[in-house]
Structures are given as C-alpha cells and as structure tokens.
A = this chain, B = another copy of it.
C-alpha cells in the first residue's frame, strides 16, 4: 500500500541530521554512477511556473519525482516515490518543508567537505524561508561561534537574527550591508532572489567558502563574475542543471571568465575523488541547484521512518 504524508507529518519527523545523512549517502552513490537524474523542466503559468524533475536510485529501491506549481500564492510541492522492483507506487509526500531542509542540507554537505575545518563564523545574505535551514545546516557541520545576517528589510533581518540566535544557541547579529556580513566570515551564504549580484569579488577575503543557494534561474545571479573567477574550486550538485539555470556561472562562462571544465560535481568531492579545498587560503564556491536525487533520497528516509512509526495515510487502490 502506498502512503500519503502531509506537511505536518514530514515536519514532525524530518531533522537536519537526517537530511544531511541522506544526502551524504546519495552523493556517494551518485559518484559511483548509481543514481539517475532528470533535470528540472519548466512550463510557464500565468504568474508562475510548473516544475518537474525526476531521479532514480535503484540500489535504494526507489525512483520518483518532485513536482510543483509555483505562483503568486505560493507553491505546493509533492514527491512521488515508486519501487524499482515492481512494487508500484510507494508514497506521495508533501514536500515544502522537505525541500527547505534538503536545500539547506545540500549546502551543509558542501560546507562539510569544502569549508575550512576551523570555520566558525558565517555571513548570510538573505533572511527568507530558505535562509533558516541554510544557516542551520552550516551550524550542523562546523562549530560556529557567530553569524551576521543582511537583508533589505531591517525588520526581517532583526527577527531572523533573534530567532536563529535562540534556535542555534550562537550569536546571530543583523547587519546593515552585505559588505559587513561578508567581512571576516569563514562561510558566506547567499540565499536571495536577486537579479543583481549581492556578493562581489571585492568583498571576498582569502579562505572563505561560499554557498550560493538562491534563485534557480539564469535570469538571476547572486555573485558577480569576479567572485566566480576568483574562486579556486567551484562545485555544484548537478552540472547539467547548472548549465541551464545557474545565472552567475552561465554569465561568467559566456564572457570567458569561467570554463565549464572547471566545474566539479559535489558528489566527487564527497567521495574523495576530488579535493574540496587544496589549502586554507582557497576560495571555494558551491553552486546549489537543487536536484531531484536529493529529494528522493530524503523522502526515502521519510518513508522508512513513517512505516516504522505507523505514520501516514494509506492511499486507496
């Protein structure tokens, strides 16, 4: 019987630790060629878009997809999992909260393998829905002492700082400019929907690791070309998707400041086939695309937990 899991049920079960663990597993499997992925396709809707992306992980017994219709009134995300051994449909999982956590976790995995071991301070640009789990994920893989947050609206960055200080038990301070949050930070997170760069090469010091986790459209870019060009190592969770969606890499490549040949798959770094950082002074950059194999890996874990704990509604049929 297939299970249906609601947002509430997912929220109660899923932790950042579980998501980090699932992603570490699926990245390793992918580096062995054992994971299939269908990059995101979009269809335009009136004031939004419909998105469809799929993945397979036969060794874990699953194949499936994520779909969502995003519009002015928000979006509803769903993941469907099928068995790879003829079991048919296994689960339909409401995936808003799941997506928020897995996107954070992808940056967490990148930080684990690319940031300096002694990284202890974070600068974060953006304070929206996705910003919380970005910071939470970095806090899960490094011993953080402090973080600074900038976003355009003072009220929002203040409330983010207060909320996250309490939740993570570290000192999170609001700041009045992107420059001031980046200065001296060991890890920089950009998680905005900006079309004009918020992070420039000029702002960057040596040894920093950047997680660029904002908008997935070539119309947007969070980093300027200088910041891309001065990064010693540039990684992404999916090269195919980056080539059609990652605005800052596409622009840097188009203008001759970046070569796609330089782009490293994060799964190769996770498995140790490539270095995430060769020395303390390196600037490292993770371009987060958000891909379907990450979704099905986390959802597989959710399904296992739900079955074990007797959670979820059985679908008819």
Interface residues of A (CB under 8 A from B): 4, 6-8, 36-38, 41, 43-46, 50, 52, 54-56, 58, 63-65, 67-69, 71-74, 76, 78, 80, 82-86, 88-89, 92, 94, 313, 315-317
Contact = CB atoms under 8 A, between A and B. Distances in A.
Nearest to A37: B43
A41 B37 CA distance: 10
Given A4-B317, A46-B58, 16 more contacts: A36-B50, A38-B41, A38-B52, A43-B54, A45-B58, A45-B63, A46-B85, A50-B82, A63-B69, A65-B65, A67-B80, A69-B84, A73-B86, A76-B89, A78-B80, A313-B315
A56 B45 CA distance: 8
A41 B54 contact: yes
B43 A38 contact: yes
Contacts of A78: 80, 89
B52 A72 contact: no
A76 B88 contact: yes
A86 B74 contact: yes
B6 A317 contact: yes
Nearest to A63: B50
A316 B6 contact: yes
6 A-B pairs with the lowest CB-CB distances in the bound complex, closest first: A73-B86, A76-B88, A69-B82, A36-B43, A6-B317, A43-B56
Contacts of A54: 41, 43, 50, 52, 67
Nearest to A7: B317
A316 B67 CA distance: 18
A88 B69 contact: yes
A92 B89 CA distance: 12
Contacts of A37: 43
Given A52-B52, A72-B86, A80-B67, A36 B44 contact: yes
A295 to B, nearest CB: 13
Nearest to A74: B86
Contacts of A72: 86
A316 to B, nearest CB: 5
Contacts of A80: 67, 78, 80
A73 B83 CA distance: 12
A26 to B, nearest CB: 14
Contacts of A313: 315-316
Given A4-B315, A38-B52, A67 B82 contact: yes
